[in-house]
């Protein structure tokens, strides 16, 4: 299948590996940005050394001409990963820790004739613009790009929401205008700390599914709260929707985490569930009652885990659940066990 690189730049392909190049670290190193995409890192590393990206790629192996990192993710062969680690002055293990998309599960198949590719779409995750102030603190002035399981990113340090919109005019949403969103991210962080990363992701996924069911702030341009109507007017309702939903997503996730924590500890009685449901429906709105009833009745964490890892059915016990990890780039859509799924922001496939 043709990749973006081939279509955009046709014949212009590096033909042979040069074993003499790329064995030593580059003169100038680069600090990693958390969650950065491989394409973004390679582009920054070249720029840091005052090279065009092609110049760096010659040292990494053979393959198509580069594509700008905001469009898609770059995937590499085992050979290219080693070379890239050399050039970066770190081990393959560290590189794989820092750049999710060079991990084993995303490597190009052994025996590929090329060492990197730029498919039409990232294989997993979303390309999201990095907070430019965080990037600047890593010595980068041009936009840097992250590969994340969610199509958005909240920088608590600089109070910025970035997403997968690639807008030049409005690269981020300033959270000084939306303090509730900052609190929401802090709330989610506390849930993650309490439950663990994977369990918290599953809970967030189910909370998002519940929001989809009740169509909570589905169209922020019609919101009664002027905060969201104004934001929708400014950045469009697609970009505004997840921002507007974020507060409720975090509160619901916290509510559901309360249940989950007790359930995992074997301390949940039928009466607890009933009281919980009444309390949450009273606080969040009666529309939430039905989907949450559904969640309680059908919620089997292990089923989530199995969906996320793509393996078959079974009925193992709770202890196994605790050990299950959500794939690092699995989206909330992939993780939920509830039937109502729609990401709040579907701006992707920019070429189509
Ligand atoms: Zn930042």
Residues 328-351 have a mean pLDDT of: 74
Distance 264 CA to ligand 1 centre (A): 35
How many CA atoms within 13 Å lie on the side-chain side of 157? 7
The whole-model pTM stands at 0.85
Q: What is the pLDDT of residue 305?
A: 40
Give Cα separations from 243 to 112, 128, 163, 224 (angstroms).
41, 15, 10, 15
Residues 154-180 have a mean pLDDT of: 94
Distance 274 CA to ligand 1 centre (A): 42
Distance 137 CA to ligand 1 centre (A): 9
Q: What is the pLDDT of residue 18?
A: 75
Residue 50 CB: number of other CB atoms within 10 A?
Answer: 9
Which tens digit of pLDDT belongs to each residue from 128-149? 999 999 999 988 888 899 999 9
Give Cα separations from 59 to 80, 143, 173, 314 (angstroms).
9, 24, 38, 47
Residues 303-313 have a mean pLDDT of: 39
Give Cα separations from 98 to 36, 77, 91, 155, 257 (angstroms).
8, 17, 11, 18, 29
Predicted confidence band of residue 346 (pLDDT cuts 50, 70, 90): low
What does pLDDT average to over the chain? Answer: 85
Q: Is the pLDDT of residue 265 over 90?
A: no
| Strand partners for 161 | 154, 173
Distance 304 CA to ligand 1 centre (A): 32
Distance 213 CA to ligand 1 centre (A): 33
Q: What is the pLDDT of residue 277?
A: 93
Which tens digit of pLDDT belongs to each residue from 38-80? 999 999 999 999 999 999 999 999 999 999 999 999 999 999 9
CB 208 within 8 A of CB 288: no
Residues 23-45 have a mean pLDDT of: 90
**Phi, psi angles (nearest 5°) of residue 111:** 90, 0
Quote the tokens at residue 106: 């995303």
Q: What is the pLDDT of residue 14?
A: 53
Predicted confidence band of residue 3 (pLDDT cuts 50, 70, 90): low
Predicted confidence band of residue 157 (pLDDT cuts 50, 70, 90): very high
């Amino acid at each position: 299948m043709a990749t973006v690189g081939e279509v955009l730049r046709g014949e212009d392909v590096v033909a042979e590996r040069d074993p003499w190049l790329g064995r030593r670290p580059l003169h100038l190193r680069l600090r990693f940005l958390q969650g950065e995409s491989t394409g973004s890192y390679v582009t920054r590393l070249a720029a840091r050394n005052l090279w065009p990206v092609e110049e760096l790629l010659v040292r990494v192996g053979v393959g198509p001409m580069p594509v700008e990192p905001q469009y898609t993710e770059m995937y590499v062969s085992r050979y290219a990963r080693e070379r890239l680690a050399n050039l970066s002055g770190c081990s393959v293990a560290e590189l794989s820790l820092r750049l999710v998309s060079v991990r084993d599960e995303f490597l190009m198949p052994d025996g590929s004739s090329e060492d990197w590719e730029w498919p039409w779409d990232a294989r997993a995750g979303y390309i999201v613009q990095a907070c430019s102030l965080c990037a600047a603190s890593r010595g980068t002035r041009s936009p840097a790009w992250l590969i994340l399981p969610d199509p958005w990113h909240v920088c608590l340090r600089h109070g910025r929401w970035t997403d997968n919109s690639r807008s030049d005019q409005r690269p981020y949403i300033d959270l000084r205008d939306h303090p509730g969103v900052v609190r929401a991210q802090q709330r989610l962080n506390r849930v993650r700390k309490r439950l663990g990363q994977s369990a918290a992701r599953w809970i967030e996924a189910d909370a998002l599914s519940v929001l989809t069911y009740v169509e909570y702030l589905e169209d922020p341009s019609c919101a009664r709260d002027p905060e969201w109507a104004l934001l929708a007017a400014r950045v469009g309702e697609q970009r505004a929707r997840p921002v507007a939903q974020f507060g409720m997503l975090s509160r619901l996730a916290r509510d559901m985490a309360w249940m989950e924590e007790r359930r995992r500890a074997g301390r949940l009685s039928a009466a607890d569930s009933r009281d919980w449901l009444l309390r949450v429906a009273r606080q969040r709105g009666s529309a939430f009652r039905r989907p949450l009833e559904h969640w309680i009745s059908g919620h089997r964490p292990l089923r989530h885990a199995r969906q996320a890892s793509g393996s078959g059915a079974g009925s193992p016990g709770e202890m196994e659940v605790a050990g299950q990890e959500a794939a690092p780039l699995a989206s909330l859509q992939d993780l939920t066990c509830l039937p109502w799924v729609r990401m709040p922001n579907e701006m992707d496939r920019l070429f189509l």
